[in-house]
Amino acid sequence: MSKCTNSLDPSANIFGPHQAATVSVLCHCYNHEPYIRQTLESILAQKTDFSIEIIVHDDASSDRSQEIIREICDGHALQVKTILQSRNQFSQGRRPPHFTFSRARGEFIALCEGDDYWIDPYKLQKQVDAMHRYPNLDLCVHPAIRLSMRTGRQRKGFNYGRNERIIDAKEVIARHNQFAPTASVLMRSDVAQNLPDWFFYEPGLLVGDYFIEAIIGRQGVLYLPDTMSVYRREVPGSYTDRFRESSGQYLEDDLELMLRFTERLREIDGIPKEALEQRLSYIRLNYGLQFLAVGDQERFENVVREIKLDRHRLPLSALRLMYRSRTAFRLGRLGFNFLRRFL
């Protein structure tokens, strides 16, 4: 068996016979040269009383990411397994989970993207111990430090209180934005590997975090109050970075994809309908604000007309005023872009 594996068959056994790990850590990388070493070292620094396997997928990075991954793989060949693509798969409609989830042999799956990292060496131990206390729950998360790559500013985010608690699915699903940082996620493998086929194989799904939160967390999400990871924001080439640079038909097509995949949650038992409707309106709001930011009043109007958020009538009234009045739209755009610099 080679130390570093490159395989496109999602059902392939890349490990050979060995005792299954308790946690499979999945790390997805693409052009993360400045960050991937810190990411992998933070995973390897975990202190646990159980075994861990690390599966790294690099989607044909054009920088030195694969070189760094190989270097680390050579030093930890029994623990770190790699899938190093020679051709970018995302551009062919295949997202990283297509290649990694089915390979996980652990009881649990943890996620840590190649531009994030962990800051608590007992993170996995704490989460696994907590999940054993709640056998009826399938997903565990925690707060993170938000690190802006544009300003260097750091602040705590994804904070839902000082105490361990179970967060109701309605709160998770109806969120305006991301509920938990990707690098905080620990989930039961048997549930994660049985996500709907469209999550793994259907082209066009832009981001997967929300669907993990909604589907795997529909029985409730276990929240631990410890801040144990760093979430890098405004990383060049990231989804958030691309979103802020998007406009016109490209952005409109993305909106249609997000709505279409979110609508698929109606097929899942246990998804609260009211919470899902609120999420759909929040998706429209996020894209509407991007059309506002780039000055596209026609598309802004088309999106805002469909928003239904009864608890936010005052902000909605302001948005509707903007599409009725060019002056209000221009002023709104100036104000929004000014505030956005500090978000």
Residue 17 pLDDT exceeds 70: no
Tell whether 288 and 210 lie within a shared domain. no
Phi, psi of 203 (to 5 degrees): -65, 150
**Within-domain flag for 331:** yes
The whole-number pLDDT of residue 310 equals 76
Task: Tell me which of 201, 222, 240 is where a domain ends.
Answer: 240
269 pLDDT above the threshold of 50:
yes
Within-domain flag for 8: no
Residues in CB range of 252: below 8 A, 6 or more apart? 299
Q: What is the pLDDT of residue 13?
A: 35
| pLDDT over 70 percentage in the chain | 94
Distances, alpha carbon 173 to alpha carbons 166, 213, 224, 243, 248, in Å: 14, 7, 18, 21, 28
Digit-coded pLDDT (tens) for 204-216: 898 899 999 999 9
Q: Alpha helices of the chain — where are they, by DSSP H?
A: 36-44, 65-75, 97-100, 123-133, 169-173, 189-192, 197-201, 209-216, 239-244, 248-263, 273-294, 297-304, 313-324, 326-340
Instruction: Specify the number of domains making up the chain.
Output: 2
Instruction: Specify the pLDDT at position 74.
Output: 86
- Give the position of tokens 């997000």: 258
Assess whether 132 and 164 both reside in one domain: yes
Which of 212, 240, 268 is a domain's end point?
240
Write down the pLDDT at residue 19: 59
The reported pLDDT for the residue numbered 228 is 98
The whole model's pTM is what?
Answer: 0.90
CATH of the domain at 185: 3.90.550.10
> Is 97 domain-assigned?
yes
Both 235 and 294 in a single domain? no
**3 within domain boundaries:** no
Residue 155 and residue 86 in one domain: yes
Same domain? For 218 and 266 the reply is no
Looking at the structure, tell me whether residues 28 and 97 fall in a common domain.
yes
Instruction: Check if the beta carbon of residue 226 is closer than 8 Å to that of residue 120.
Output: yes
CA 170 distance to own-chain centroid:
19
Q: pLDDT tens across 324-342, in order?
A: 899 999 999 999 989 887 7
The model's confidence at residue 343, banded by pLDDT at 50, 70 and 90, is: low
> pLDDT tens digits for 162-179?
999 999 999 999 998 889
2 within domain boundaries: no
Segment 271-296 shows an average pLDDT of 94
Q: Is the pLDDT of residue 16 over 70?
A: no
Q: Are residues 81 and 184 in the same domain?
A: yes
Contact 146, 154 (CB under 8 A): yes
Residue 4 belongs to some domain of the structure: no
Q: What is the pLDDT of residues 222-264, one digit of tens each?
A: 999 999 999 998 787 777 777 888 889 999 999 999 999 999 9
Q: Give 98's contacts (C-beta < 8 A, 6+ positions apart).
A: 10, 89, 200, 201
Q: Are residues 90 and 202 in the same domain?
A: yes
7 assigned to some structural domain:
no
Q: 275 with 156, same domain?
A: no
Pairing state between β 186-188 and 139-141: antiparallel
The reply to whether 90 and 177 lie within a common domain is yes
Nearest to 268 by CA among 212, 207, 222: 212
Which range, 69-73, 183-187, 285-289, has the best average confidence (pLDDT)? Answer: 183-187
Residues 205 and 285 in one domain: no
Residue 14 lies in a domain: no
- What pLDDT digit, counting tens, does each position of 106-154 carry? 999 999 999 999 999 999 999 999 999 999 999 999 999 999 888 889 9
Four-point Cα dihedral 31, 34, 35, 37, nearest 10: 100
- Which one of 223, 240, 257 terminates a domain? 240
Domain match, 126 and 141 both: yes
Mean pLDDT throughout 92-99? 94
d(CA 19, CA 21): 6
- Can you tell me whether residue 40 is helix, strand or coil? helix
Tell me what the mean pLDDT of segment 263-271 comes to.
95
pLDDT at 240: 76
Q: Could you tell me the residue range of the domain that residue 157 belongs to?
A: 23-240
DSSP states of 91-102: GGT--THHHHGG
